[in-house]
Structure 1
């Protein structure tokens, strides 16, 4: 009786082992878990920077458009009007050479912001995998929104890559720059002039 029971149990145990091993493997091509995003979460975008500078004097331009964009890392979409400034927004795409050239400068700017302003990316008209690869290669860690079309640029009535938008503490656009790839010195100059914040070297 015990011998007959053993003969029945061996195939059942083997089958259970195969099932468990199979469950741990991917179901097939294209089902591999996505790589973790290099970019930061977007939850902080609607919280004012801890030591934000007051809005500088002068005549501000229009507010950010009434537009909601997805966050690259997932989670709740972000309404642009809810973003707390001061902020520097960089619109870019992986297929744009000047965008790739300036991305490291924006990462350094985000590190030098020291809680006085936010640096935000808007990845536009791009392939997600290509954008992620660029973010990984260049060590880009600031929050990234996704504009699958060109809704943000159309709302601003600007058609340019790259595009940089400086927003003050009141959420109003102070300056839009489309002069090409920006370096550290030019970014620091724009932030000082339009947001009233000195960026350390």
Structure 2
């Protein structure tokens, strides 16, 4: 159920990994091609920053300002405690709103292997971009994580920063700032 928190996910231990991606270990994330699916706003019509980042899976560049709403963009890092709490909730959101809301992760200021390992351990498969140099975080005028951007169908953004989102708060912010009601 959407409003029942998982204590096990909140108590996850830290993952530490350094190095380059392991070719033997596939990416846990979905390809980013789904981000280009039809919506009510044309590419480039959002007020999102004009930053391009590689898709974690496949490496294709995704221009953030071309993303269409309704959408939720969660900036996270495997090293960030509050991010580790809310990232599994973002995956639950993606699952609960499939076809009605785009949910995208941006692994920020992280090591690829650490991000992939954390995601795989927690069943996170939503499309994810990789931003080692925190370009998007900087372009949003923010300095620390977690950050979640809500984008409505007209391309207007709302940026949330602060403590880790819980299911109730996340559901309320999604409804208020994207127009999508979370069910399931």
Common fold: TM-score over 0.5? yes
* Whole-angstrom distance in 2 between the partners of 1:116 and 1:32: 34
Match of 1:38 among 28, 53, 57: 28
Unaligned runs of 5+ in 2: 1-19
* Whole-angstrom distance in 1 between the partners of 2:164 and 2:38: 28
Between Structure 1 and Structure 2, the one with more helix by share is 1
* Whole-angstrom distance in 1 between the partners of 2:21 and 2:89: 35
8 A Cα contact 1:121 1:145, kept in partner: yes
> In the TM superposition, what is the alpha-carbon distance from 1:103 to its structure 2 partner?
1.1
* Whole-angstrom distance in 2 between the partners of 1:124 and 1:75: 15
C-alpha change, 1:32 and 1:81, in structure 2 (3 Å) is: closer
Match of 2:91 among 107, 110, 115: 107
Unaligned runs of 5+ in 1: 1-29, 55-61
Deviations 1:146-165 (A, max 9, x none): 11111111111111211000
Rg larger for? 1
Aligned length: 161
* Whole-angstrom distance in 1 between the partners of 2:56 and 2:66: 17
Pairwise CA RMSD: 1.9
| TM-score (ref. length: structure 2) | 0.81
Match of 1:65 in 2: 49
| TM-score (ref. length: structure 1) | 0.75
After the TM superposition, which residues 173-184 of structure 1 pair with which residues of structure 2 at under 5 Å, given as runs? 173=157, 175-184=158-167
